[in-house]
Amino acid sequence: MKNELKTKIVSRRACIGIIGLGYVGLPLVLRFSRQGFKVLGFDTDPEKVQALNAGRSYIKHISPEEIAAARFSDHPEKRFEATVELGRLGEPDALLVCVPTPLNRHREPDLRYVEQTTRDIATTLRSGQLISLESTTYPGTTEEVMLPVLRRNGLEVGQDFFLVYSPEREDPGNPVYQVHNIPKVVGGVTEGCLRLGEALYGQIIDRVEAVSSTRAAEMTKLLENIYRAVNIALVNELKMLCLRMDIDIHEVINAAKTKPFGFQAFYPGPGLGGHCIPIDPFYLTWKAREYDFSTRFIELAGEINTYMPYFVVERAVQGLNEKCGKSIKGAKVLVIGVAYKKDVDDMRESPSLKLMELLLQRGAGVDYHDPYIPVMPRTRRYQFNLRSVPLTPESLASYDLALIATDHSCLDYGSILTHAPLVIDTRNAIAGGNNHPKLIRA
């Protein structure tokens, strides 16, 4: 069974199934399709499925032409198809699971999407299928959560079906590092599983890095993101200290990064955003409790990063009071940028959403401008009924405060500073304006 499946993969006769057609799954669809595989995409959102089957894109950095090239290939047997029919999960030879792994309100792992997807796969699981979990999670998930469910129909892992963990490393909007040139870590439940995982990803990715187990692969992903979370917390804490000491933290960082060894630059902001860094560290802190271990660095970093939106709002309260003689209650605030990072249309875990919530709780009136997010979508936690307002001299002048939360490259920050009565800059978008009477760093 293993050799037969490997032959299908290497000859690119295997059908690839991608479960979850978002920022992780859709780039994989396109890469497998470009490399000559037939791809079947699964998603529970019928609007996404309809858009893809019509050759349309719903992600800014993925063009409709890329979707159409996969969907309407000159080779009908190789065309990409999207579906909501989970009963078809038995068709692909390899299934890649790219579903969300959020936290619940107690900051504990919420694996409902992984668990449900695993049950769906188990319903149609057949001999000769390879399953790869790509969603970020705690060490042990693949073998402790997925494997027992997949075994229930009597098939044996490593002989009848094959199971690996290979963490996604997608960076939306990155023009340099995309699916093919980001090394892929793979760990298998058995040696045979691992070799098939290597074979699969080796068809589309320049370098595949095998590790000894699924647990090692799961921990690798967590280490990558915990490293970033801890270092971002460090510069966020130093930013708050530097503001008290009247030192420009960005000047300090830029000077420090001239050292050619031993230093990597991280930058402060209004809080953490994205689908990984605000969430993943807490997966490990939760799992560590099972071993009577306290992950103190991770928890402290989480406290600092979680505090940052509160710090920004306090700076806004203080700035309105001292510079404008106004209270935050009743003030009109324009939040500029609601994506979690510059030049993308991705709002997942964006600190802008927490900023807006805190401002509303203080009694402020809140609007937003983001050229990439014309309508604020509903999220699992936030339900703002707002549309992006135009960024004109007249609209800027009508607000008491403009709060730069995301530094999109296309925005005219000189105009923002000129026409807004007061500006809070959380991203150093307005460089060199430290002494400007209308500018507050936060």
Q: Which residues are catalytic?
A: 276
Decide if 37 contacts 14 (C-beta within 8 A): yes
| Token pair 């619940």 in the structure block, residue | 104
Rounded to whole angstroms, the Cα distance separating 413 from 429 reads 7
Counts of helices then strands in the chain (DSSP H, E): 15, 13
- Both structure tokens of 348: 């997942």
- Contact call for residues 157 and 150 (beta carbons, < 8 A): yes
Residue type (1 letter), 176: V
Please name the amino acid found at residue 223. L
Contact 210, 198 (CB under 8 A): yes
* Rounded Cα–Cα distance for residues 405 and 353 (Å): 10
**CA dihedral sign, ordered 388, 393, 394, 400:** positive
CA–CA separation, 442 vs 425, rounded Å? 6
| Structural element, H or E, at residue 361 | helix 351-361
Residue 80 phi, psi dihedral angles, 5° rounding: -80, 140
With CA atoms as reference, report the closest residue to 43 among 60, 67, 26, 61.
26
Cβ atoms of 226 and 234 closer than 8 Å:
no
Alpha-carbon separation of residue 372 from 31, 136, 388 (angstroms) = 24, 26, 9
Helix (H, G, I), strand (E, B), or coil: what is residue 131? strand
With b for 16 or more beta-carbon neighbours within 10 A and e for fewer, the 334-344 pattern comes to bbbbbbbbbbb
Phi and psi of 187, rounded to 5°? -130, 140
Q: Are the C-beta atoms of residues 362 and 317 closer than 8 Å to each other?
A: yes
d(CA 416, CA 414): 5
